[in-house]
Amino acid sequence: MRKKLTLLWSIASLGATPLQKLRLLFWCVYWFVAESRTWLPHPSARIRIRIEGVVRSVWLCGIGDVWVLNDVLVQREYDHGEAQPCETIIDLGSNVGISTLFLALRYTSAHVYAVEPNPQLRARLAYNLAGLANVSLHHLALAEHDGEAVLHIGSNSAHSSLFSVPNAATNVTVETVSPDSLLARLQLSQVDLVKFDIEGAERFIFSAAFKAFNRVRRYMGEMHYDLMPVTREAVQALTSDYERVEEPIPGRERSMIYLRRKSAILSA
């Protein structure tokens, strides 16, 4: 109980004012309760929070968004090492845009390409990123080939995948793009940073079949070994040109991985 209270207060502290802190705390508690009592409605809320010193209104709905706030803004999973200068960032799995907000406000001179296929999140994603001149939205899913695939959408907005999702609430067809095609579509010959949280689709990033892999200076994201046939050993072998830090997530076949290329990227 003490851990949960500490977690809730840490998330609530993101509120921009004392009143907004109390509002965020109320909704966090409500969504936690509603998660286990399906008869309760799941309303959304617009709350003003502070991100990298900037006050933003964010549109949140449900426990999935609470966990995203915790991972990105409390645990600061994407604040690894010094903030090196960046011009181009790709956010694979933007979800409702919290990670994109963090990256866009932390790296103010960079353009952030937010990539998110889930059509159910488009309204909230657009709202949360409104007014940011250095962000563009791309409704795509990373896959092996360009085309279409079925996205399995869980009841928790953070759990949507091209692969198995327990008790998927909805299945929708989405546009897919390979890593090589994504860089070509965005007209990028190289990328300073790729952040990813794409529920197993990172198997397509860490594949020697794609030239795009070595066009990136830094990677950071969650490896879902339980959702893909790629092993830690295979990733380690593929990333020999990168300085690599991998932090296992306790109790799960998953980890956070941080990669930084050792040498300069050659011109395309």
User: What pTM was computed for the model?
Assistant: 0.94
Confidence at residue 111, expressed as pLDDT on a 0 to 100 scale: 97
User: Which CATH number belongs to the domain containing residue 116 in this structure?
Assistant: 3.40.50.150
CA distances from 253 to 70, 92, 216, 223, 240 (A): 20, 20, 25, 9, 22
User: pLDDT, tens digit, for every residue of 176-216?
Assistant: 999 999 999 999 999 999 999 999 999 999 887 888 888 99
More confident residue, 263 or 70: 70
Residue with structure tokens 């399995």?
A: 152
Look at residue 115 and give its three-state secondary structure.
strand
Share of the chain above pLDDT 90, in %: 69
Q: How confident is the model at residue 83 (pLDDT cuts 50, 70, 90)?
A: low
Using the 3D structure, point to which of 42, 58, 73 is the last residue of a domain: 73
Instruction: Report d(CA 100, CA 49) in Å as an integer.
Output: 15
- Picking from 80, 11, 106, the residue whose alpha carbon sits closest to that of residue 256 is 80
- Picking from 71, 66, 69, the residue whose alpha carbon sits closest to that of residue 32 is 66
Confidence at residue 45, expressed as pLDDT on a 0 to 100 scale: 96
Q: Is residue 203 part of a domain?
A: yes
In this structure, are 103 and 26 located in the same domain?
no
Split into its structural domains, the chain has a count of 2
Using the 3D structure, point to which of 73, 90, 118 is the last residue of a domain: 73
Using the 3D structure, point to which of 73, 89, 123 is the last residue of a domain: 73
Q: How confident is the model at residue 84 (pLDDT cuts 50, 70, 90)?
A: confident
Q: Is residue 235 part of a domain?
A: yes
Q: Is residue 239 part of a domain?
A: yes
In this structure, are 58 and 165 located in the same domain?
no
